[in-house]
Structure 1
Amino acid sequence: MSHVKAKEVLPEELLKEIQKYVQGENLYIPKPKEFYQKWGACSGARKSIAERNAAIRRSFKKGVSIDEFVEEYFLSSETIKKIVYSK
C-alpha cells in the first residue's frame, strides 16, 4: 500500500474538513466495493491454484492415489480430498 500526501490530491476545502477529525495521523480510505478484487486476482495466484486443482482432479481420475498427491504437492490428505471430490 502506497502513501499519498493528502495535500497533493485533495481540494483544500476537503482537506480542512478532514482535519477537523484527524490531524497528523495516517488515514486509510477504502476503495468502493465495486472496485474490490478477489484474492489472487492481480498476482495470478487464483488462476495458478485453479490450474493445479484441475491437474490433481485429472490425475485422480487416472488412478493416482491421495497419498501420492500429499507427497507431491505438500498438502494434507483432507485438502486433497476436498479438491478431488469437489465439483
Structure 2
Amino acid sequence: MKYVNAAEILPERLLRELQTYIDGDVLYVPKNSSKKKWGTVSGSRSFYGERNREIQRLYREGCSMEALSEEYGLAHSTIRKIIYG
C-alpha cells in the first residue's frame, strides 16, 4: 500500500471536510472495485453447492452419514456440517 498525500489529489473543500473528522491521522480508503466471492470465477462455488445439496437430499432419503462419508470421500464431521449447516 503506497502513501498518497491527500492535499495533492483531493479538492480543497473535500480535504477540509475530511480534516474535521481525521486531522493528521492516517486514513485507509478501500478500493472501489467489488471483489468476487470465493469460487465464482472458477465454478468451484457452484460445484460444491450442488454437491452439498445432493448430500442433503440423499441424507433426507435415508442414506447414513457413514455411507455418505465413504461415497464422497469426506470426513464424518464434514458430512455432518453439510447436512446440518
Q: Per the shorter chain, which TM-score range?
A: 0.5 to 0.7
The whole-number CA distance in structure 1 between the counterparts of 2:81 and 2:33 is 30
2:79 match: 80
Residue 62 in 1 paired to residue 66 in 2? no
Q: CA deviation at 1:33?
A: 5.4
Normalised to the residue count of structure 1, the TM-score between the two structures is 0.60
Mark the structure with the bigger radius of gyration. Answer: 2
Q: Which runs of 5+ in 2 are unaligned?
A: 1-29
Percent of pairs with identical residues: 39
Q: Which runs of 5+ in 1 are unaligned?
A: 1-30
CA RMSD of aligned residues (A): 1.6
Q: What does 1:15-54 align with in structure 2 at a 5 Å threshold?
A: 32=31, 34-54=33-53
Q: CA deviation at 1:40?
A: 0.4
Structure 1 stretches of at least 4 aligned residues deviating more than 3 Å after TM superposition: none
Normalised to the residue count of structure 2, the TM-score between the two structures is 0.61
The whole-number CA distance in structure 1 between the counterparts of 2:84 and 2:69 is 15
Amino acid at match of 1:50: G
